[in-house]
Structure 1
Amino acid sequence: MPEDVSGALPEETKPRRRQARGERRIAQLLQAAANVFCAHGYTATSTNAIAREASVSPGTLYQYFPNKEAIAIELGERLLTEMREAHGQAFSPANLTLPLPEMLDVTVDPLIAFNCENPAFLALMHGSEVPGRIAEEHDALHANLLARTQEVIGHYAPALPVEERTRIANMTFAIFKGGLDLILAAPEGAEREATIAELKTVLLRYLCPLVEGPCADEAAVTTTRTR
C-alpha cells in the first residue's frame, strides 16, 4: 500500500478526536450544571443559566442535551455511580472485622468525602421536580444504604430483634444525614474537621450500648480527643 505523505490525518483518527472534544464539552456542561444546581436548585435552574456558567451559547448546549431534564439525568446517573462506589468502599467486608470505633471511621469517611466533593448530589436529588428516573434510582440507593446499615448493626449486635435493628438503622441514618448537613455548611478546614469529629462521636455514643466490650471507654476517649 503506498504511503500517504499528504500530512492529512487518517479518517479513523478524526472521529476519535471529535469524540474526545465532545466528551470534554459534555463534562464542561455537566460541571456547569452542577454549579448552577448548587446555587439555585434544580427547579430554578434554566438551560440558559447552565450555558452562561459553561461560557457557551444555548445553541451549543442543545447540540449535546435537548433540555434541562436530560442534563439532570446524565449528571445524576454519574453521581449515583460514584455514590455506589463510595458505598462499596464504606461497607466492605473487611471493615466489619474492625472494632466499632474504627469501623465508624472507615465507613463514614468515604460517604462524607463524596458529599463534600459533590455538593450537587444533594441539590439535585432533593429538588421538588427531580426527573422521575433519577428520583427512583436515588430511592433505591437510599434503601440499599439502610439495608447495609442494618447488616452492620446486626453484625455488631446479633441478638437484636429485626424490628429493633431496623429502628436503630433508621435513627443512625437520620443522625448521619443531620450531621452531614452541618458538615457541608461548615467552612472547609479546621471547622469542618471538628464537625466531622462531632458527628462520629454522636454516632459512637449512640451505637456503643449495643456492643459488648470497651466501646463506651473508646467513645469517652474519642470525645476527649475532639475537644
Structure 2
Amino acid sequence: MVQLLDAAAVVFAEAGYAKATTNAIARQAGVSPGTLYQFFANKEALAEALAERYRSELAAAHQKAFDPGTAQLPLPELVDRMIRPMVEVNLENPGFKALFGSGDLPDKLTAPTRALQKAVTGRVAEVLAARYPGLPTDRLETTAAVATQIFAALLGTIVTTPAAHRERWITELNQALVGYLTPLEPARSGSCG
C-alpha cells in the first residue's frame, strides 16, 4: 500500500489531480490496475489516503518543531530546531506540496491539510510568545506571519536543491530568520523596544 501511495504522490504532483489516472499510478508503482483496486477504489481514495498520511506527518513535525519549552535556547539554535523538522517533512514528501497546493484537488481533500499548514503561524507565535513574553499581540502575530513566509519562500529551493548543496540553503534560511528575529532580542528582558 505504501508503494501505491508513493506512486500516487508522484503522479498527482506531475500530472495534477484532474489529469492523473489510476492506470498511470499503477504503472508508476509497477503493479497492475487490478492490484491498485484491491487497495483503493479510485483516485479520490488514493488522494484521501495521501492527505491523511501528510496530515499525520505534518502534525508530528509540528510537535518536534514548535515546542515552547525550547524558547530560551540561543536564537540560532532555536531557529534551527524549528526549521529542521519542517524541512524534513517536506523533503520526505516532495509531491505533497504540489498536490495539495494545486487548484484541481477537491476542497474536501485539501481543507484539513491547509488548516494544518496555516496552524504553523500560530505555533510559531506560541514559541515567540514564550521567548518574548512582553511583546504586544499584534507585533507577535505579525512577526510569526513574516517568519513563516520567510521559511516558505526558501523551502522550495531547499527541497529542490541536490542533497550535496542543501545544507547551504538550510544555513541561509537559519541566518535569514535569525537576522529577522534578532531586533526582538531586547524584548526577552521585558522591554518591548
Would you say same fold, with TM above 0.5? yes
- Measured in 1, the distance between the counterparts of 2:139 and 2:69 equals 25
Choose from 116, 125, 137 the match for 1:162: 137
* Pair 1:84-2:74 in alignment: no
Instruction: Extract unaligned runs of 5+ from structure 1.
Output: 1-25, 214-227
* Pair 1:201-2:175 in alignment: yes
Count of equivalent residues: 187
| Alpha-carbon RMSD | 1.6
With 31-40 and 98-107 compared, the bigger mean Cα shift is at 31-40
- Measured in 2, the distance between the counterparts of 1:206 and 1:70 equals 42
Choose from 4, 13, 29 the match for 2:4: 29
Contact 1:43/1:127 (8 A) holds in 2: no
- Measured in 1, the distance between the counterparts of 2:21 and 2:108 equals 19
Counterpart residue number, 1:184: 159
Counterpart residue number, 1:103: 78
Deviations 1:102-147 (A, max 9, x none): 1111111111011111102202210112232331211221232111
- Measured in 2, the distance between the counterparts of 1:182 and 1:66 equals 36
Q: Which aligned runs of 4 or more in structure 1 are off by greater than 6 angstroms?
A: none
- SS of the residue corresponding to residue 128 of structure 1 reads coil
Residue correspondence of structure 1 range 2-151 to structure 2 within 5 A: 26-151=1-126
- Measured in 1, the distance between the counterparts of 2:142 and 2:76 equals 21
- SS of the residue corresponding to residue 163 of structure 2 reads coil
Deviations 1:68-101 (A, max 9, x none): 1110110110111011001101112432231221
- Measured in 2, the distance between the counterparts of 1:97 and 1:209 equals 16
- Measured in 2, the distance between the counterparts of 1:129 and 1:70 equals 15
Instruction: Extract unaligned runs of 5+ from structure 2.
Output: 188-193
- Measured in 2, the distance between the counterparts of 1:41 and 1:176 equals 25
- SS of the residue corresponding to residue 162 of structure 2 reads coil
- SS of the residue corresponding to residue 135 of structure 2 reads coil
- What TM-score do you get using the length of structure 2 for normalisation? 0.90
Give the letter for the 1:203 counterpart.
Answer: L
Give the letter for the 1:197 counterpart.
Answer: T
